[in-house]
Structures are given as C-alpha cells and as structure tokens.
Structure 1
Amino acid sequence: MTNQSPHLDGPRTTGKGPLRGMAIAALSFVAGLVIALLTLIMMGRAAQSWPGSLWSSWFQRTAHTDLSQPTVVDRIQKLQRLESVVYTMDKIVTGEKESVILPNFLAGDRLLLLVHGEVIAGVDFQTLKPGDVSVTGKKIRVRLPQAQVLVTKLDSSKTRVYSRQTGLLVATDPNLESQVREEAERDLRRSALADGILQKAQENARSTLMSLMQSMGFQEVQFE
C-alpha cells in the first residue's frame, strides 16, 4: 500500500491585486496630468496679466484737464446763446377800428385772431468776459450774464383769423391783421415776463454751467 502524503497548496493568487494596482496608478497619472494642466493654465493667465499690469504701472498716463482761466472762459463761451426756457401761449386777441361818427355795423372793422406763440429766454454766454471768471485750484467763481428774451414769435401754421366783422359802408382794412399780430407778440412777451421766464432761464443756465464745471474737474463752483 502506497502512502500518499497530503499535498498542501500554497497561497493562490486570483490576479485582482495587480489589476487594482494598475488602476490606482492610472488614476494617479490622470490626476497628476489634470493638476499639471490646471497649473499651466493658471501660470499662462498670470503670465499674460503680469506684464500688462507691470507695464501699466510703469507707464500709465494720468488724464489731465486744463483748468486754466482762458480755457474755462473758452468752454463757457462755446455754449453761445443757451436757450433754457420756452414759454408758449394760446389765446384770442381782438383788434378793431371804429368810426367817431358812424356806428360799428356801418363803419367798424373788428377782427378776432386765434394766436399760438412762444417766447424763448436764455443766457448769451458769448458776452462773457475773462474778468467774469476767477479760477483758484479746483475752485471757480463765475459772474453769469443776465438772462434775456431771445425770441418772441407767433406760429403762423397755428395762428389764424377766428372771425372778421366789417361795416356795411367801409372796406376791410388790409393792415388790421398785421397790427393785431404785432400786438399779440407784445402781449405774449409781457405774459412771459410776468410769469417769471427770466428767473427760470437764469436758474436753468446756472444748472447747466454747474454740470459743465463739475465735468471739467472743479470741486467748488460759485455764481455771482
């Protein structure tokens, strides 16, 4: 009888260990590659911005605005005639001629004019003189020209004869309408002045000039 001694097998390997190691190594390689790419990208951006920022810090130019008195006077004068307020009016104006002897239905001439007009007021900065402007550093003092009525006009497209009554014994006066128009312009001007158009024009001109001076770099603006 043959005695067979038991055969003891050594530890068996299934192949999972080497595969796992290879996977870990591959993942490590990919992670390292991603990190390297991100680092290169960040370095590239830094390299692009660094020379520019360094260049600008070395050679940056500071914007300079000329605040000398002649320059300021020139800038203000270029505003020319600043039309700052427009006043409009619609009304009916009456004009008539009467006879000292005969009644109106025989010798009178009466006209009603439907008027649409406007008055424009503002400041003429072309009249500004160098002595009207004083500059001290960032502070400026300006003596504003007085506001004035620049334009008084009737709108011919909207102004028309509303009614006309002429006596039986006289002809229509060809000058009556033009006389009524002239009186309407004077009345329009008087109404605008009574409503304070010049004060409003002065205030608006001051506001416009204030904005201009501040845009030029002045920190304190005074008006006289």
Structure 2
Amino acid sequence: MRILIANDDGYLAPGLQALVQACQGLGDIEVIAPEQNASGTSNALTLNRPLSVYEAANGYRYVNGTPSDCVHVALTGLLERRPDLVLSGINNGANMGDDTLYSGTVAAAMEGYLFGIPAIAFSQVEKGWAHLDAAARLARELVEQVLAARPPAAPWLLNVNIPNRPDADRLPRRITRLGRRHASEPVIRQANPRGEPIYWIGPAGDAREGGEGTDFHATANGAVSITPLQVDLTDHAGLSGWAQRLGNAP
C-alpha cells in the first residue's frame, strides 16, 4: 500500500502530523503539503510561476503552492511510484455543504480522484484542534474499514467530517449528502493606513438545508459524516429543458 498525504493548512499543521502518525503501519507514506496555509483555494493550480519543492527536517516535502499543486506535482513527476490512496487533512474546521466547493482539503483529495486514485478528505467540525487525537484514531479506523470493505473498483472520493469530541472514534458513522448554506455574510470593510478601503471576506452563512441525511445534521447530532462525492456538475435533470429552450434537440 502506497499512501500520499496532503492538506491545506500547511506542512506544519497539527492535523497533518496527527493523520500521518495515525496511518503509520498501513503502508509506505509520502507527505507533500503546502508551504503555507492555503485554506479556501479550492482546486486552483498555479500556472503563472514555477513551483518549488522543499524537504522539511521531519522528512515531509512541501510546495510553495496550493493543495491541488501538491498532489498534481506529486502524481505527475515527483513520486517514483503511483500511490494507491490519497488522504487529505485533518483540516482545522468543517468542510460541509457548499464549503466543499471552496475547500483546499477536499481539493487535494479530489486531485487524486481526478487522476483515478481513491481518496479521502478528513476535517474536524470545529476549529482549534480540540481532541485531535480522537479524530486521528477515527481516520485510521475508517481507512482500514474502507479498504477491508471491498470498495468500488472505480475511483471514489469520500468527504469525512468529525465532531471535536474525545470519543470521536467511537461515534456512529453516517453516510450523508451535502447540505446547503445560506449566502455568506457581507464583506467586512476597513481602511488601510493610507485611508484606502480594504475588504475581508465575510463569515460563511448558516445552514439552510441541514435536515436528516445531510452532513450538517449528522455532525450536529453527534455522528461522523461520510459523504461520497463526484465531480460531474452537470444538471442532468435540466438538460432536456434547456435543449427545448435553446432549440437544440436532446
């Protein structure tokens, strides 16, 4: 078993270290993560400058780019052997509902999925790394469980959100769908030292669709949320209607 581990909080993040340590013994582990925190970068690839890869004292390698850069570079030239599994995390905060579209944690796992490699993204629901040891134990157990369960032969992508609890590894696990959020809060306007306006992106909106079966509902009720993801964004139900509106036969 060859495992590639990445994240979006940077190569020094406690969540990354916890995930790597938890996975010891599962196989040969390669760690390639961003040099700095790259949260919210989604699936961005750096195309306007070259990327550099460095090695830290602990043997981790890090890239001066995005989470997707890390996995992309690893799979297309850096690693001598193709990994069997890509893991990402453990993220400092939830990646549920619409968050997954912005998440660098999910993007790192998705980059592996796009290259035909099974992948799992792990996040803690709340920021601050509370009870990270329990989340790491859950991650290890889930990887073992998934591999033992004869997953589909085709590549698959799982998004896992773990409540910050000391018993996280003993909580029930729910297969969920993505919920939805209300629109983000307004930007926060301030002034720089020269009096010019600057803007901070506002907080994420509250859950708008968080009923039973969603990732929001599962974690709010003390369960680990496991959401299978796909990349196809096509509105399949709307194809026929748009073909009729635009005069194109379905």
Higher relative CO (Cα under 8 Å, sequence separation at least 6) belongs to 1
TM-score normalised by L of structure 1: 0.18
Greater fraction of residues in helix: 1
TM-score normalised by L of structure 2: 0.17
Larger C-alpha radius of gyration, 1 or 2? Answer: 1
